[in-house]
Structure 1
Amino acid sequence: MRHDRLWLLGGAFFALVVVAFGFLFFIRPKQQDTDTITAEAADAQLQVDKQRRELATLAKQHDNIAEFKAALAEDQAALPEADRASDFLRELQDAGELAGVTVSGVSVGSAVDLQTLLGFKAFALPVSLTVAGPTSKMNPFLDQLQVSQPRAVLISSVNFAPSASTSADKSNVTINLQAFYAPAS
């Protein structure tokens, strides 16, 4: 009987080894693969949720596309692709007429490359102009230059001098400014 018990214990031990071997080399790797796939599916679901939120945001922005296009056109007018000095001089004349002053002397210098400063290709066109007219109209003209007219300009200096004429309300103003443009890359 001892011999039978030994075979019985040996058989039980062998069965236990086969179950352990099967678990370690077949079942456990499949469980790990399942866990990995489950984690990847959860990550993918997070990405899908994120993309859906982004799509919803873009859909809302698309409803305002006309406003965005208008803002783009305005920005492109503020920073044209070429210096367009003649167009800018006409804009200065028009701004002077709107404000009630006369833009008389205009001097345009050579463009200054701003790429190293800004990190993208852009130029500043130095412009000096002389404006004559009523003193009370000078501030509206300066506001017109900085705010209302389409071209982006930076006024660097304004020199005010009362006019030598008999009228006390007249003045001459010399304005130094920079008009900007950015060629297409």
Structure 2
Amino acid sequence: MTIDPIDAARAIIDNLQGNDLWFPKVGPAAVEAWADQFARAGLPIEDLLAGVNHARAHHTKVSQARADNRSEPPDPFRPTPDLIIAHAHSARREVLAQLPQERITEMEMANHLLQEMGLTPQRAHRLSRDIALSLALGRTAVHDLTDAEMAEFKARVTQAKKAAVTHRDRRRELAAMFRVTDIFSIEKAAS
């Protein structure tokens, strides 16, 4: 489910007005301008709200440090849509950096499978990253795949996971055979 950019802008502005008392009441033109920038960013509302919180935390830390050094009151938090978008991307990168290796491996596998399905590398990378982020954050994955593409993707993931297990099992079997062969070779050379 995608949220209307106007609703996203209103949610962001409501968050700012509720948490930052200086934030002014804005008219429909300002809401539309913010919505236009958020729509171009293509980020879900959850990421934009995370961007507001990330920006607020960063601003508070930096502003307080400056204020302490200058013996002045801290600057008020005055975000713009581009700042919120930049911090939304930063928050996403931080979540990706915290992913366990297993999730990173799955994300890379998904990227390759999507490319095998004919998606461009950029689109496949974006989709695999967005799916990994959604899983990590407990959200429903938002994607632009058709139902048929999603069914094919799920089938390919299942097949790739089965192949990986079979490959691991076969490697263990071969390693055990080589160890036995090495033991026989050593015993044969010793006699």
TM-score (norm 2): 0.22
Higher RCO (Cα < 8 Å, 6 or more apart): 1
Larger Rg: 1
Q: Name the structure where helix makes up a greater proportion of residues.
A: 2
More strand by share: 1
